[in-house]
Amino acid sequence: MRWMILCLALLAGSAQAELTYQLEPRQIAEDVWLVEGSTDNFGRDNGGFILNTGFIVTEYGVLVIDSGPSKRFGEALRAAIARVTDKPPILLILTHHHPDHALGNQAFSDVPIAALEGTRRLLAEQGEAMAENMYRLVGDWMRGTEVRLPTQTLEAGELDIGERRLRLLALSGHSGADLAIFDERSGVLFAGDLLFHQRALTTPGTPGLDVWLEDLARLQALPWQQIVPGHGPITRDAAPFVQMRDYLGWLDQVMRSGAERGAEMNELIRTPIPERFATISLSRYELIRSVSHLYPRYEHSVLQRIDQ
């Protein structure tokens, strides 16, 4: 009997060990750290760690940017920060409400959680459903995770924390409420999911591809030295902007021309992927999702009312 109990305990311990986020912060500028996720889709092998998070160490404490996909991730992020500095987190800023960026909030319940008002509203409206979907996608990684709403509202403008001045940009192209954070001292731009790089973009909450393109122009005009996209490798050049504009233009043309000729949605999701996008992670998968999200709008735009 004792042997059986020991075996069960060892199995439980092994399963617990497997559900451990391996977070390795990497310094990308003075006092600025990146925790880089994969460009894969949500899965039980990665626990939803598909995003880039980061933090800035200030004289007063640590500013954390996005909390990750689960309570377990948020706790691992705090532990990773503690390996870098003995200063505590003093503020968590959310770039937007999507589950991979905001479901680790519980781990930061002892500090202010700040976001745009739109992000708070969207998380309140959609958070429970997103959390349930994450449970289906990644399983036990989500155990104990509950939605925790922001406690402070941010607006566009400047935010001073000690010697750091952050420029906050309130945009909307990706999710309807998107916050980009530019650290003036280091020149690092945390773009959130307004920028994807070498990973196909997601479109479930976009108000329109034209809005997204306008947001990209505002971000590119900043005097950045490094870009941290929400997904994909960081860069010191404009490659993410070039790739994003190219992809958004192609996606718009696919759906616009399809609507004009009366194509069915099933036809568009089989559109050949251009060679220049073939190496971008999840390009076919995200094309299918984007067509399902956006094509009805394009169809509606070409329909003529019969009552006029």
The rounded percent of the chain whose pLDDT value lies above 90 is: 91
Residue from 28, 45, 44, 25 nearest 36 by CA: 25
Q: What is the mean pLDDT of residues 41-61?
A: 97
- Cα atoms found within 13 Å of the Cα of residue 305, Cβ hemisphere only: 2
Q: How confident is the model at residue 105 (pLDDT cuts 50, 70, 90)?
A: very high
Residue 223 dihedral angles phi and psi, to the nearest 5°: -85, 55
pLDDT class of 63 with cuts at 50, 70, 90: very high
Query: Residue 17 has what pLDDT?
Result: 52
Across residues 194-217, what is the average pLDDT?
97
Quote the tokens at residue 26. 């990497």
Cα-Cα-Cα-Cα dihedral of 246, 248, 253, 258, to 10°? 140
Q: Locate 146 and state its tokens.
A: 């509950």
CB atoms < 10 A from the CB of 188, how many? 23
| pLDDT at residue 304 in the model | 60
pTM: 0.92
Reported confidence tier of residue 303, pLDDT bands at 50, 70, 90: confident
Q: How far is CA 290 from CA 206, 295, 298, in A?
A: 10, 8, 12
Separation CA 41–CA 137 (nearest Å): 10
Instruction: Give per-residue pLDDT as tens, 123-160.
Output: 999 999 999 999 999 999 999 999 999 999 999 999 99
Cα 160 to Cα 183: distance, rounded to the nearest angstrom: 10
What integer pLDDT is reported at residue 14 of this predicted model?
41
Band of residue 240 on the pLDDT scale cut at 50, 70, 90: very high
Kindly list the structural domains of the chain, giving each domain's residue range(s) and its CATH number in brackets, ordered by start: 21-238 (3.60.15.10)
Which value, in Å, is the radius of gyration of the alpha carbons in the chain?
Answer: 21
